[in-house]
Structure 1
């Protein structure tokens, strides 16, 4: 897999930021993509990023729930990564809704939010808020 120099820089930036915060590479060693996980007391978090697709895929998995979301970005995912890194150690079922609300406030486009087998397409904050109301976390 080849990537342009700008894509290599972005992959290096994402990998470096995640690894400096305790994330570990899961797959693709020697390849040019991001597939990293982080485990806190309540959940396992995973981030994936493929070159030439300006979307981060974020997974949240606890004993009771599995959620996946895809977040589009334009030039850099820095703000998205800042939020994820800020909340990584405390992210849990109890804090998940507030975390998603914070992502929506950042104004990145949440392309999809899936909970177990349901998938809701989100294209604006109203769609994101509606999806949050439909997902049960009890």
Structure 2
């Protein structure tokens, strides 16, 4: 997969940063995309990022819940990665909503949000993202 100048560096930076914090590479290992997983005692977080897509997709999974969130990654990748690596160890069912709300605040655009039913709700602005997060059913 070809990347434009700078995108390969971004992919490398993201991969190195995540892996240095205990994330495990998935299908993206050694390739030009990010597909990583982090597990703590309470939850699993998957991250996928393809160059050129401009969005990063999160999948949160715990024993009883599954949620997905896609946010714009173009304007604030460092701040988003800082948030992820700062909060990864404490991620749980109780902290997911606050974590997702923090991502929504950092990202200028939330693309989709889904609960365990797997139905993505397309989001067009941050206010819709915050409202969708409040309304997401967990059980």
Deviates more, 1:98-107 or 1:83-92: 98-107
Q: CA separation in 2, counterparts of 1:84 and 1:54?
A: 17
Structure 1 residue 90: Cα displacement = 0.5
Structure 1 residue 40: Cα displacement = 0.6
Task: Give unpaired runs (5+ residues) of structure 1.
Answer: none
Match of residue 135 from structure 1: 136
Provide Cα deviations, 1:65-87, integer angstroms capped at 9, x if missing partner.
11111111224511111111111
Q: CA separation in 2, counterparts of 1:101 and 1:77?
A: 16
3-state SS in 2 of match to 1:98: helix
1:119 equivalenced with 2:120 (yes/no): yes
TM (norm. structure 1) is 0.91
TM (norm. structure 2) is 0.90
Q: Are the equivalent residues in 1 in contact too, given 2:67–2:114 (CA < 8 A)?
A: yes
Q: Pairwise mapping of residues 1-138 of structure 1 onto structure 2 (< 5 A)?
A: 1-117=1-117, 118-137=119-138
Q: Alpha carbon RMSD of aligned pairs, Å?
A: 1.5
Q: Are the equivalent residues in 1 in contact too, given 2:25–2:35 (CA < 8 A)?
A: yes
Give every structure 1 segment of 4 or more consecutive aligned residues whose post-TM-superposition deviation is greater than 6 Å.
none
